[in-house]
Structure 1
Amino acid sequence: MVDKLTEKQVNKLNTKKGLLALLSKEPFNLERGLRYVNYQKKLKKLQVELIRLQTWAIDNNERIIIVFQGRDAAGKGGAIRRLTERINPRHMRIVALPKPTKDEQSQWYFQRYVEQFPKAGEIVFFDRSWYNRAVVEPVNGFCTQEEYQIFMNQVNDFEKMILESGIHLVKIYMSISKKEQAKRFEDIKRNPLKQWKMTKLDEKAQLLWDQYTEYKDAMFKKTNTKISPWKIIRANRKTEARVNVINHVLERIPYDKNLEV
């Protein structure tokens, strides 16, 4: 807890963002308010770097894929929004595919994802990806064990082909505790502006927690390769997770950090 504020801390809170952070949630919490102001300051600097990264990608016809996986309510969507809210929307896409159609079910599993891959100068953010078959689908009975094994046998070669074609691939897994997931589900259920987020899969997520863990661990063991590693982001605290996500993306993509924007 903050016992006594310094002059610098008072000045931070005595701003539009500081007052908003302080008054937005009861009971009033000075420490939380200061933390949020510091987060907003960090976020602004990081978003400038994301603009620089995107400018480099456009100028050099680079193609970038950023994959987000994680448990339900882990904050994937929130992290993607902070990554994309300041960059040029004409040169990026967010892909969140619905369940496959009958035609797609008859195709090679990876095909509908390949159709969403970036063109020159574009960044594509996958809010869940082909890795649904590694965890979500087998846990919920949406694929057979044979289909699961075929996927696991093919995925590393698939990603090797992506990288060898010149596409930059970043894989991020948002990790939360079982207790935090339950807390977020309750918040979603109580909030009429968020209730649309709750799905039938979400409702079973707590009951199937251990099964998700088993398949998640198998996914990491098989697909956390040297050329295509996973980055696990601890996401119990949303603001900290978002900063860590952006920092990781900036570290993984070899953009020109000296570009003027």
Structure 2
Amino acid sequence: MISRLSVSIVRACLRAGTGGSPTAVLDETRLSDVERCRVPVLAGASHAVFVSVGGSDVSLRFFTAEGELPACGHGTVAALAFLAERAGGTEYRGTLRAAGRSFAGWAVREEARVRAAFEPGPVELREPTAAECGLVLPALGVGRDTLAPGTRVASVGRARLLVPVTSRAALAALAPDFGQLQSACDRFGLLGCYVYSVPTRSGRIAARMFAPSIGVPEDIANANSTACLAADLAGRGVTGIAVDMGDSLGIPATITATARPGPVVRLGGTAKVTDLIRLP
């Protein structure tokens, strides 16, 4: 039964201690997948993370209103904050499992907030096809005057389109046709589209993630897409980035990522457990 379940609300990927993506985190329980999809809706979040602790290993499952995801970056940051708060002490380290993959996660408690990091795994990159660009870019509202070089299809679990635009102003002005975008993404098996501004010399970037195919028209924070971008930029000499998201929704969020040869990407974010609620 889903009613009266205890759910922690974790604001993941805060910016200067504020904003962050509200994420529902709860202990693994006996629910059908249909019921799991209802949890984020009832909790007022875009994503829910189900946490199962078995000895030193922690298994994670991620759901949106539309179904299960093989991976979720900001959901992993939220889960690490949840685990660190429960463990007490200053530091938390654990082995996380999701979609058949194991990886290490770290968290450091800093007063009321938790700084978390993990390695999301290998990133696959390829050039998009003309057909993909021909359908997806118009649905996004990205034209030749605002498109910058370097569009890629990237995957860490599921494929998504990385689309660079010339400026933060061009990014802020986007108003996608969500019905058209969902149809295009579904046709090519894309999770969604991560549109970002050209990096500054310091590696500061603004981004917006549109994913209507998974029930999230626009995501406040999308860490796995940030990992994909970090892997792509590492091949162009950019080894560290800080990505600002959520501004168009009035909820600021920031995700950091570093990449070393391989590339091996490490994602980071700050989170805070803000509420403990019971589902209606």
> Fold-level match, TM-score > 0.5?
no
Q: Which has the higher helix share?
A: 1
Q: Which has the higher strand share?
A: 2
The TM-score normalised by the length of structure 1 is: 0.29
Bigger relative CO (Cα 8 Å, ≥ 6 apart): 1
